[in-house]
Structure 1
C-alpha cells in the first residue's frame, strides 16, 4: 500500500550557495552634451531629482526616484551642447552576490568584462560587453581587494563598448 508521504515530491532545502543570485534593476547611464534635454524629460516630466553622487573624477549628475539613483548622467564635451545631445552608455543591475563569485562565473564565459570600483564605497562595478557593443554593469559587494581593470579619471567615465 502506498502511503501519502510517498506521493509528496521530495524537496531538499537549497543551500545559500545553490540559490540563484537575486538581481534588481539599478540604473541607466547616459552621456550628455548639455543637460537641458535630460532635465526636461527626467526632472520636468518624470519628476526625478538631482541627488548624491560619489566623488568620481569626472563631472555628471545622478537623478533619483525616491531613494534610488535611476539615471546616471555624465558630462561629455564631445557631444553637442547646443543640441543637448545624449548617448546611451549602459544599463546596470545590482546584487548582494560577491564580486569574486560573479567574476569567477564570467571567467567561465567568452564575455569580455572590466572591473571598476565606486570611489569611497565598497562596491565593485563589473562592466560586461555583450555582442553588438551593448554594455551591462553589475554592481556587487567588493570582496576581491585586487586592482581594478578600469580606473576612472577626469576624462574617462565608465567603460564603453570601444573600451573592451
Structure 2
C-alpha cells in the first residue's frame, strides 16, 4: 500500500473467458472502464490471470480498435499502411516521433487550458497542416538518406534508386 492508502498501480486480471477483473474494486470491468482509467491518468497494469503475462499493450490496442470503429477514426487506411511500413529499420524513429508529437500536443493542450472541443478543433486545424508538412519533409529526407545509403553500400545492386532510371548496360540486356 502506498501513502495514499492504495496500491500505486491498479492490477486488472484478464481471464480466459475474456472478462476483466479489477483487483482493487473486486469487480468485473469493461474496456470502457479501462479507457476511463487512461483518461483519468490512473496507473494500471493488465495481466493474463492464468500466466501472469503483462498484456496491457494488447488491451490498449483493443481500446484503440474499438474507438477507431466508432465515429470518426484518427487513423486513415493510408496512415496505418505507412505505420506498418515503418516496422523494421525505421521503427524506433517513428515510435519516437509519434510519442514526442503526442506528448507535445498534450502539453500544449494542458498549458493552453483548452476546455472546449471547438477551441481544440481550431488548434488542430491550424497545427495539423504544419505537422503534416514537417512529417512529409522528414519522411522525404529519411527516404533520401535510405536510398543514398543503399546506393553507397551497393545494396540491391540489381535495382536503380530512382524508379525508371536506367543503369549502364540496361539497353544491352534487352
TM over 0.5: no
- TM-score, structure 1 as length reference: 0.23
Question: Which has the larger helix fraction?
Answer: 2
The two structures have a TM-score, normalised by structure 2, of 0.22
With a CA cutoff of 8 Å and minimum separation of 6, indicate the structure with the bigger relative contact order: 1
Q: Which has the larger radius of gyration?
A: 2
- Structure having the larger proportion of residues in strand: 1
